[in-house]
Amino acid sequence: MGVVADVLNSRTRLTLAVAVALIGVAALGGVYLKASLAVSAAFVAALMLWRPARTLPWRLATVAACLWAVEEIAWAFQRLGGTALPAVTDVTYYLGLAGWLAALLLMPGKRLPPSLLVAAVPAVGLLVWLLLLDVPSSLALGFPVFETVLVLASLPLLGGTMVGGASEGRVLVALSFYLRALGAGSFAWLAVPTSDTGAQFLWLLSYTTLALGVQLELDDQHTDYLPIAVAVTSLQLVSAALLLVLFKLGVLEDPYALVIVSLLTYVQLAVVLLVLVTSRANQVVAERELRAWTRLLNPVIDVRPHGTAIAHILDDTVRLVPNAQGIELHQHGRAGTFGGYQYPLVADGTEIGRLHLTRKPQRSSVLDTCAPILASRLLLLGDRDKWATAAFTDPLTELLNRRGLEARAGLLVGQAKADGKPISVAMLDIDHFKRVNDVYGHGVGDDVLRALAGVLRAQLRPSDQAVRWGGEEFVLVLPGTDAEQAADVLRRVRHELGAALLKPVAWPLAVSVGIAGSAGPPRAEEELGRLVEAADAALLVAKREGRNRIVLAGTL
């Protein structure tokens, strides 16, 4: 399943339209070509200034594009009959060249795999061969040699695109420098007035191709067909124009002409294969990301014990999502570490949290598709937890109620079973609680219930569970504890409650306790229900024997 977008945004469509218009005007030749060349260079500079770069390499590239725009405008002024400005053209050209070279060397995401190196040999060989056809002219002019160096510096950009880690716009950026170098080499080789026209057309094609490549790169647009279409069209135009020039010069039958046209055909094929390889690499990366997201998002609703679903999803998100290092929800918790690139999680038009990635994703189509599903799921589970809290929690003491214990029974039994240890249940009742309500009112009675809940929280382990069973009765579930150990816990509870001064109650509070424990690790969830019944029976014995005591039902 491919997820690389082939839908161009409005800015890219506008850039493509301007590029086609400039090429169409330039095809008229003469002053139209000269003016279009200057406009195309200025268009690249304006495009990069319109989208301010955030990184040093692209800032350098923007400055370089502006310098080359000034150079081409100065050259157009001279070609249209104006005064020559060699100081302006030379300074702006070489400074722009240095700026582009520095930008290419500093640009991240560069690779030069052996396959790319081998494939580039014939194309680069054509440039070198053009230089060697007339070495004195190439060295005297200088710029054909420098343009070839610029091509070599741009080749690693293609490696980053091949492995699916960079925009396909880099293919067009590298191609634009190749067209410039081809124009410079042809200018040096032919050394006739016609060559200037051919070189100008090649340079114009390089600027329009560069504009499209920069637009795709800065907008992080990913498209398969545009680089192929632009590259093949450009190189077809180059081949046709070169054949026309060679025909007019009467050297069409020269072996050199055949070699040049053959190599241009090879470059077209190489670009097509490069984009196809890149498309496959993008598809592999996208499929890997989709598999990771599917494992996280399927099933859509994860049925887990009360209060644990969101925690599990947060942990799974950090573990499964590519390049994720942390996630935070504004109201429901967090997991992992924080920093790096922050991606907002939005549900129902509201940001509910953020996903922290180790770096900004090179392409975000999968993330943009799956992250809203994750956000909606987290929002739904957050609401479910709120509903579960209301349904399973006693509002007065904030302990679980009887329904909450039923929902959590499997987890508690499973915990003891996994540890290979017994489980115990204690049921306790506040002695003479009705007297508290009768003498001091139900408000004080509620304070007493809350005080006992506080004592239970203080004395129990995190793995234990306290439950308000009903009225003044409470149930404690103690995984990994036998009946005798449970009795020790309840002695501490009785002591703490008896020592508490609960004004205005004038007498120490006491509880009666019944305890039942399993003989070994529990085998099934139903055992917990039998232990509750046994503890309840032991509690009745404690009451009959005078209250304020602990009675053990033994082991079951």
From CA 538, how far away is CA 532, in angstroms rounded? 10
DSSP 365: H
From CA 18, how far away is CA 286, in angstroms rounded? 32
pLDDT at 265 (0 to 100): 65
> Six-digit token pair at 427?
């049921």
Q: What is the mean pLDDT of residues 207-229?
A: 76
Phi and psi at residue 425, to the nearest 5°: -130, 135
pLDDT at 157 (0 to 100): 78
Burial zone of 535 (CB within 10 Å; 0-12 exposed, 13-18 middle, 19+ buried): buried
Q: How confident is the model at residue 304 (pLDDT cuts 50, 70, 90)?
A: very low
Helices then strands, counting H and E runs in the chain, come out as 18, 9
Q: Which residue has the higher pLDDT, 477 or 505?
A: 477
pLDDT in tens, 467-495: 999 889 999 999 989 989 999 999 999 99
Q: What is the mean pLDDT of residues 252-275?
A: 62
Answer whether residue 241 shows pLDDT above 80. Answer: no
Class of the CATH domain delimited by 402-555: alpha beta
From CA 406, how far away is CA 52, in angstroms rounded? 60
pLDDT at 302 (0 to 100): 42
pLDDT at 429 (0 to 100): 93
From CA 268, how far away is CA 412, in angstroms rounded? 67
pLDDT at 217 (0 to 100): 81
pTM of the model: 0.52
DSSP 507: S
Q: Which residue has the higher pLDDT, 192 or 123?
A: 123
Q: What is the mean pLDDT of residues 416-426?
A: 89
Chain region(s) in the chain for CATH 3.30.70.270: 402-555
Q: What is the mean pLDDT of residues 268-278?
A: 61
pLDDT at 474 (0 to 100): 94
Q: Which residue has the higher pLDDT, 241 or 201?
A: 201
From CA 547, how far away is CA 507, in angstroms rounded? 15
Q: What is the mean pLDDT of residues 213-228?
A: 71
